Amino acid sequence: MGSTSCVPDHYLFQPKLEDWQVLIRLYMELSGPVSWYNTTGWNIIDSLYDKKDLAQLTQTDVGNICQWHGVTCVRFGTMVIELDLSDNGLVGTLPLDFFDLVGLRRLDLSKNLISIDQDKGLTGLIRLPSLDYLDVSETDTRNLNGIGGAKKLKSLFMNGIHWPVNGAPNEFYSLSNLEHLEIQHSRIAGKLSNQIGNFVKLKHVDVSNNELSGSIPSVLWASSTLVSIDLSHNDFSGSLPTQYPAMSNLHTLRIDHTEKSGDGITGKLPSFSGMTKLRELSLSSNSINGVIPTNFLSGITDKSEPLKINLSFNNLSGSIPLDLKEFKAIDLNVVQNEISGIPDVLCSKNNWMNGEVGLVKSCDAIMCQPKFWSLSGRASHKRPCRDCPDRQFWGSTVCPTESDYPEQYDERRILAKVYASMDWETTANWFVSGIEMCEFEGVTCDGSDGNASGIIALDFTSFGLSGTMGSDVFDLKKLNELMLNSVDIKLDKIGHATKLHTLHISNANIKSLNGIGNAPPSLKTLHVSRNDFLTGTIPEELFMLDNLEKLHLFKNRLSGTLSTSITNMQSLTEIWLNDNDLTGRVPKALGNITSLEKLALGHNLFSGFIPTELGHLSKLALLSLEGQRSKDKLLGPLYDFASNSNLLSLDLSDNALTG
């Protein structure tokens, strides 16, 4: 009240630069010319840079910025309102004048090797008064000071960042308009602050895969706006509330505790009847005890819609409640508890367990009966439960006397650990009722004995994974091939995979090759490419892999000189180290690897002469040294390539060759 003018918010902050100037600065300071994957529109800056000083450019020179990759402008104007440069190879520190984009409403810089100014943090956000969406996931964000300046922020994604050791500043909890909050895999430790209750409009919260501990704040259970909560894979303790009168909008609740220390959630299983719209409840791998209440889910109003309930690996007892018969389609996982019975009427619910009850036509589709077991704790239409006289309760996943499939049991446990260690955009058919381990998408098992047994290959490239894959994957004894993208992985246990032949990690977030020297002698192909977070020098231990035949480390951020120790790798037929930041001279020692057929070192920072020793490589079919970005580039004159009698492809372009 009492306003004497009506001025849009963005006019309250007078930018020093116009939007097109900010974008030019962003492109140049975040390595646009050399590292961005998609430069559509932006690449006009490259051609202009060769013609005139960028400071002298005009908007006419750069053309329509609204047609550049990732840029959205206000309709009928040139003010930038959205910028999406996610996973685009950005490298460097975000320039402070970036915040001159005062009309910005949506910003996504995720999955780039960029950092926020460590001193000023996010103080520039106050200059973006219209911003309602921010994603800085998997960037080098460490300082959250200034986050409170984004007062209109509705959606905030900070997955895989460096969460401040001392916790978030108080201003973080002043974001009263926040509706969607995701901070997965960010090593948040300590208790979840009661100030989370300040997010009075919050609908979705996901802080899974962190190191949070203590009891879950009671303010969370008092929220009437929350639609989904994911607190899984932390170290929460204590019991759950007995009632949830305010949570009538909640659709999803996950508090799985897999692979964390302590007992997890304890106490009796409460009734969730107050959650009238609940569609997924997952409380697996905790220490919840007692019986399942008869009114467990009685408040759910639409009982015709599919419902997913996971209470597996707890200490529950008694019978499955008869009242669940009102639901048309439930995927109910209560295996590995102390369940003593299932009402017969539930065993005729043909749509339950993704239709497996109708196919199996017995209670076994829900859980294996006492004196029986299976790896999944239930039967499928392809694989029945097996005899196990020692099993007293329903849903056994282990059998001490079973000797037919010990290897599959161990492998399933390993896959469960790997599954729990990451976030999945889509889980396909993993751990779905009725699906056996060797039928999981991306899993290949050995069929040499006439039966599918023993995992020999894993392909994780189609699941939209994020986070860090557990190194337990290398405990798979028969594993021959592993293919990953999107995630980080530690290589400390790679030596356990004694039959590993191929390791392929592309477009991922792997940050280190430490431990690679422990790889088994069976490893023949190492392909680690297009990883923006893989920086620093190539570790000396890699050059110990004297059985390796194919070394593919292209399009990473590797730097430093290429060690002469590479001559230890006498089995190499291919070396692809192009598109990194390697410096110094091309090692003469490469000429000693006489088995070499392909050598690609283009688009690095090498300088000096091309070593004549490369002429010793009589099997060489491809030599790529083009486009060195060093000041001096590669120099001439060239040696005589006559001895490279098998050479089919030679690229030495964009260097400083003479003679």
Beta-carbon neighbour count of residue 200 at 10 Å? 11
Specify the number of domains making up the chain. 1
Give the integer Cα–Cα distance in Å for 579 and 626: 10
User: pLDDT-based confidence at 404, cuts 50/70/90?
Assistant: very low
Q: Which range among 433-437, 540-544, 550-554 shows the weakest confidence by mean pLDDT?
A: 433-437
Q: Which two tokens stand for residue 141?
A: 């964000």
Query: How many beta carbons lie within 10 A of that of residue 404, not counting itself?
Result: 11
Nearest to 443 by CA among 432, 433, 434, 430: 430
Q: For residue 91, is pLDDT > 90?
A: no
Let me know if residue 149 belongs to a domain.
no
Burial of 2 per CB tally in 10 Å (0-12, 13-18, 19+): exposed
In a domain, 355, yes or no: no
Given this model, what pLDDT does residue 115 score? 83
d(CA 342, CA 552): 55
pLDDT class of 258 with cuts at 50, 70, 90: low
Name the residue type at position 642: A
CA–CA gap between residue 531 and residue 507 (Å, rounded): 5
- Name 527's bridge partners: 504, 552
Gap between the Cα atoms of 185 and 466, Å rounded: 9
pLDDT at 451 over 50: no
Phi then psi for 173, rounded to 5 degrees? -85, 5
- Alpha-carbon separation of residue 159 from 109, 188, 495 (angstroms): 12, 11, 30
| Banded pLDDT at 449 (limits 50, 70, 90) | very low
Q: Are strands 133-135 and 106-108 parallel, antiparallel or unpaired?
A: parallel
Residues 6 or more apart whose CB falls under 8 angstroms from that of 263 comprise 237, 286, 287
**DSSP bridge partners of 436:** none
**Which two tokens mark 255?**
């508090």
DSSP for 273-336, written as a single string: TT-TT--EEE--SS--EEEPPTTTTTT-S-TTS-EEEE--SSEEEEEPPGGGGG-S-EEEE--S
* Cβ pair 200, 176 in contact under 8 A: yes
CATH code, 432: 3.80.10.10
Task: Kindly state the average pLDDT of the residues 198-226.
Answer: 94
pLDDT band at 171 (very low <50, low <70, confident <90, very high): very high
CA distance 273 to 247: 10
Q: Taking the CA atoms of the chain, what radius of gyration do you get in angstroms?
A: 29
Q: How much of the chain exceeds pLDDT 70, in percent?
A: 93
Q: What is the mean pLDDT of residues 43-57?
A: 74
Name the nearest CA neighbour of 640 among 616, 620, 619, 615. 615
Strand partners, 236: 214
Nearest residue to 551 (alpha-carbon basis) of 600, 602, 612: 600
Tell me the backbone φ, ψ of residue 564, rounded to 5 degrees. -70, -10
Q: What is the mean pLDDT of residues 535-544?
A: 92
Place 50 in a pLDDT band, splitting at 50, 70 and 90: low
- pLDDT of amino acid 15: 62
Give the residue among 221, 172, 168, 224 at the shortest CA–CA distance from 191. Answer: 168
Distance (Å, whole) CA 354 – CA 476: 29
- The answer to whether residue 107 scores a pLDDT higher than 90 is yes
Any alpha helices (H) in 90-187, and if so which ranges? none
Between CA 79 and CA 522 the distance in angstroms is 57
Summarize pLDDT for 333-345 with one digit per residue, the tens.
999 999 999 999 9
d(CA 170, CA 206): 19
Q: Residue 571 belongs to what domain range?
A: 423-651
pLDDT band of residue 120 (cuts 50, 70, 90) is: confident
| Confidence at residue 569, expressed as pLDDT on a 0 to 100 scale | 95
Chain segment 321-332, per-residue pLDDT in tens: 999 999 999 999
pLDDT digits (tens, 9 = 90+) for 607-657: 999 999 999 999 999 999 988 988 889 988 888 898 999 998 888 988 988
Q: Which residues pair with 502 in a beta bridge?
A: 481, 525
* pLDDT confidence band for 382 (50 / 70 / 90): confident
Q: Would residue 339 count as lying in a domain? A: no
62 lies in a domain? Answer: no
Strand 235-236 and strand 211-214: the pairing is: parallel
Q: Is residue 553 part of a domain?
A: yes
